[in-house]
């Protein structure tokens, strides 16, 4: 286990990792699996995407333990389509720590799908980090791009098909401001299909303002566990309305 990442059990029995130096955990203490499902997989409406096309393309910002990807697989269980994931991570030691964590996390409900993700991440790490696609389960794919997400996202070919969903899950704006900047969010927005939904845990006004400045509509994300609402964004999808005072401030850019 990497000394930089400390395992922590969350309230729903699933595990997360805390980055020791930043003192920031990858998930809410109320439940890592709960958060992955209800903050990311469900509000991004992956099932709806799978009902209209054969492949669901997911951009996963901040690979961490890969739990959000596992939640996406869980959500898509029984759907005909396959999941193609591009996942961005700066620190390979979090993935190494995840692979070591597997031995103590094996009993949780998330285990079936997380085992599939761990296998893909392990193969991707071994594949000399070339960012090529590896198998994700029976017919999905995963591309792990190691490096600063601002650079790895920019290096993706412009011809790559647009993403149907974005899980925006970096460390907090205080700890990792670069991934909440308008510049990075614009690059993300440019890669989204018209009906794609981005979900993030942050409800900070600055984050919502930056998302709105990219041209995306901004809406309220669900409350998960003890956490306040998050944020959703999309070019064209109808989203739950933000409180009126927030909408007014976004309109006035104050």
Ligand X SMILES: C[S@@+](CC[C@H](N)C(=O)[O-])C[C@H]1O[C@@H](n2cnc3c(N)ncnc32)[C@H](O)[C@@H]1O
Residues at the site binding ligand X, with contacts judged by CB under 6 A: 26, 36, 62, 64-68, 88-91, 94, 148-149, 169-171, 176, 178-179
Nearest approach, Cβ of residue 169 and ligand X (Å): 4
Q: Which is nearer to ligand X, 233 or 242 (CB)?
A: 233
Nearest-angstrom CA–CA distance, 152 and 40: 22
For tokens 């942050």, the residue is: 202
Q: Which is nearer to ligand X, 91 or 111 (CB)?
A: 91
Q: Which is nearer to ligand X, 115 or 176 (CB)?
A: 176
Locate 160 and state its tokens: 């790559």
Q: Which is nearer to ligand X, 101 or 192 (CB)?
A: 101
Nearest approach, Cβ of residue 252 and ligand X (Å): 31
Residue pair 106/164 in contact (Cβ under 8 Å)? The answer is no
Nearest approach, Cβ of residue 123 and ligand X (Å): 18
Nearest approach, Cβ of residue 166 and ligand X (Å): 12
Nearest-angstrom CA–CA distance, 106 and 157: 37
DSSP 3-state percent helix, strand, coil across the chain (nearest 5): 35, 25, 35
Q: Give 95's Cβ-side CA count (13 Å radius).
A: 24
Torsions phi, psi for 64 (to 5 deg): 50, -125
Nearest approach, Cβ of residue 65 and ligand X (Å): 4
Nearest-angstrom CA–CA distance, 82 and 60: 16
Q: Which is nearer to ligand X, 125 or 246 (CB)?
A: 125
Q: Where are the alpha helices (DSSP H) in 3-107?
A: 32-35, 46-52, 67-75, 92-105
Q: Which is nearer to ligand X, 15 or 220 (CB)?
A: 15
Nearest approach, Cβ of residue 149 and ligand X (Å): 3
Nearest-angstrom CA–CA distance, 122 and 126: 6
């Amino acid at each position: 286990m990497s000394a930089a990442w400390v395992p922590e059990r969350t309230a729903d029995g699933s595990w997360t990792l805390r980055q020791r130096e930043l003192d920031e955990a990858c998930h809410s203490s109320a439940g890592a699996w709960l958060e992955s499902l209800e903050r990311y997989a469900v509000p991004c409406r992956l099932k709806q995407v799978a009902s209209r096309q054969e492949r669901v393309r997911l951009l996963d910002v901040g690979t961490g333990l890969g739990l959000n990807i596992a939640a996406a697989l869980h959500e898509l269980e029984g759907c005909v389509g396959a999941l193609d994931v591009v996942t961005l991570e700066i620190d390979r030691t979090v993935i190494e720590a995840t692979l070591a964590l597997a031995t103590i996390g094996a009993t949780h409900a998330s285990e079936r799908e997380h085992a599939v993700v761990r296998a893909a991440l392990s193969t991707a790490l071994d594949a000399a980090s070339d960012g090529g696609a590896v198998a994700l389960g029976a017919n999905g794919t995963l591309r792990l791009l190691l490096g600063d997400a601002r650079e790895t996202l920019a290096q993706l070919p412009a011809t790559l098909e647009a993403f149907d969903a974005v899980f925006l899950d970096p460390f907090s704006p205080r700890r990792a401001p670069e991934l909440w900047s308008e510049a990075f969010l614009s690059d993300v927005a440019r890669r989204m299909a018209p009906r794609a939904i981005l979900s993030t845990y942050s409800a900070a006004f600055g984050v919502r303002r930056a998302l709105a400045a990219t041209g995306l509509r901004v809406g309220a994300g669900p409350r998960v566990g003890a956490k306040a609402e998050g944020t959703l964004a999309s070019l064209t999808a109808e989203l739950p309305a933000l409180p009126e005072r927030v909408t007014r401030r976004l309109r006035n850019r104050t």
